[in-house]
Amino acid sequence: MRLTLDQVEGASHAALTSCGASDDQAVSVAASIRDAEAEGTRGIGLGYLPYYCGHLKVGKIVGDALPVLSTPMPGLVGVDAAGGFAHAAYDAGEKVLIEAARRQGIALMGIENAYACGVLGYFTGRLAQHGLIGLMTANASSTMAPWGGREPFFGTNPWSFAAPRAGAPLIIDSSSSATAFVNIANAAAAGEQIPDTWALDPEGRPTTDPTEGMAGSIAPAGGHKGAALALMVEVLSAGLTRSNWSHEASSLGDDAGGPPRLGQTLIAIRPDGLGRPDFAERLDGMLAEMTREAGTRVPGDRRHDNRAAAERDGVTVDAALIETLNGFGAGL
């Protein structure tokens, strides 16, 4: 079935509200699902909507949460998500964060007590569209062992960086782990093997069996470097916001334990703050030099290409997912 992006957003909003989300919460999340589908990030688009809906129904996400905004210091913005979606908490603080960064040159927003936020590039890209450099970190429930260990302690702990260009922004979106948990779960459901760099079995050995990987641990990206990056993300995300550490948070992969109460931190920077008004032009020039060599590309450009195609042609969704989404009230 082919859907327009408007249909993707409308179906997402309908499913979320049918499962207990308030209109404000659903609007924020539906917009992010539309964006994920447009960019080809299907695993966190409509494919993740059943997780959102299921967790709304069991109370792992507080559907009627009202984010609470605070400004404890001139350059700091705090948002308590109150157990709801991080997306709605971000929307509550975005304007204040942008105004503070423009006024002072740099500002930070910490979101506490939130559900997972999906694609971090969605948020940093929004800051870049406002002419700001954006950095974001987010912790997640434990799925990855620390370096040398076997038991999950950190989450996939993603991070993102975005910067304004003359056209679409530069967006780098990554995780501290070798892959996302959903990719291993999808491989297990499909009966497929995984690369031996993705996961460790319960004994801490590399495995190509996704079931063994789910029973063990996701592998860190780049070995000890990815594990160290996960620790840094943990401190910035949960440490600064007094949210749950990854090992304290309820699992995002099941229905038990109530809200995970995770943390996200965003830093917004004026690129002309040090007297460099030609930042975007210089960045474009450097990226042009970088991509002169055959085979190189700018991170994020593929998502911009996907968006152009999706806005023109819509996206294709398989019948099984449509049936699942309709079971949650999507109305497709």
- Reported as a single tens digit per residue, the pLDDT across 137-153 is 999 999 999 999 999 99
Of 34, 36, 38, 35, nearest to 11 by C-alpha is 34
Phi, then psi, of 173 in degrees rounded to 5: -135, 120
Pick 67-177+220-290's CATH classification: 3.30.565.10, 1.10.357.10, 3.30.1370.60, 1.10.645.10.
3.30.1370.60
Contact 186, 43 (CB under 8 A): yes
Phi, then psi, of 95 in degrees rounded to 5: -60, -40
Q: What is the pLDDT of residues 270-322, one digit of tens each?
A: 999 999 899 999 999 999 999 999 999 999 889 999 999 999 999 999 999 99
Contact 73, 104 (CB under 8 A): no
Contact 234, 243 (CB under 8 A): no
Strands 106-114 and 76-80: parallel
Question: Could you identify the residue written with the tokens 């190189």?
Answer: 296
Q: Give the integer Cα–Cα distance in Å for 215 and 181.
A: 11
Share of the chain above pLDDT 70, in %: 100
Tokens of 12: 């997402």
1-58+299-332 is a CATH 3.30.200.20 domain: no
85, 91, 93, 99: CA torsion to nearest 10 = 160
For 115, residues 6+ apart whose C-beta sits below 8 A from its C-beta are 55, 60, 61, 81, 83, 84, 85, 86, 259, 260, 262
Of 198, 156, 214, nearest to 206 by C-alpha is 198
Q: Using DSSP, state whether 250 is helix, strand or coil.
A: coil
- Which pLDDT value is given to residue 185? 86
Q: What is the pLDDT of residues 174-224, one digit of tens each?
A: 999 999 887 898 899 899 999 999 999 999 999 999 999 999 999 999 999
Q: N- to C-terminal Cα distance for the chain?
A: 10
Going by the DSSP 8-state scheme, the letter that residue 132 receives in this structure is -
Tokens of 150: 């076997």
Q: Using DSSP, state whether 228 is helix, strand or coil.
A: helix
Q: What is the pLDDT of residues 82-96, one digit of tens each?
A: 999 999 999 999 999
- What ranges do the domains of the chain cover? 1-58+299-332, 67-177+220-290
Q: Give the integer Cα–Cα distance in Å for 49 and 102.
A: 35
Listing DSSP states for 143-211 in one string gives -BPPTT--S--B----EEEEE--SSSPEEEEE-SBSS-HHHHHHHHHHT----TTSEE-TTS-EES-HH
Instruction: Give the other-Cβ count within 10 Å of 257's Cβ.
Output: 14
- Which pLDDT value is given to residue 69? 98
For 27, residues 6+ apart whose C-beta sits below 8 A from its C-beta are 13, 88
Q: Using DSSP, state whether 325 is helix, strand or coil.
A: helix
* Equal CATH topology for 1-58+299-332 and 67-177+220-290: no
257, 137, 264, 101: CA torsion to nearest 10 = 180
Contact 57, 33 (CB under 8 A): no
Contact 92, 69 (CB under 8 A): yes
Q: Give the integer Cα–Cα distance in Å for 161 and 142.
A: 23
Q: How confident is the model at residue 43 (pLDDT cuts 50, 70, 90)?
A: confident
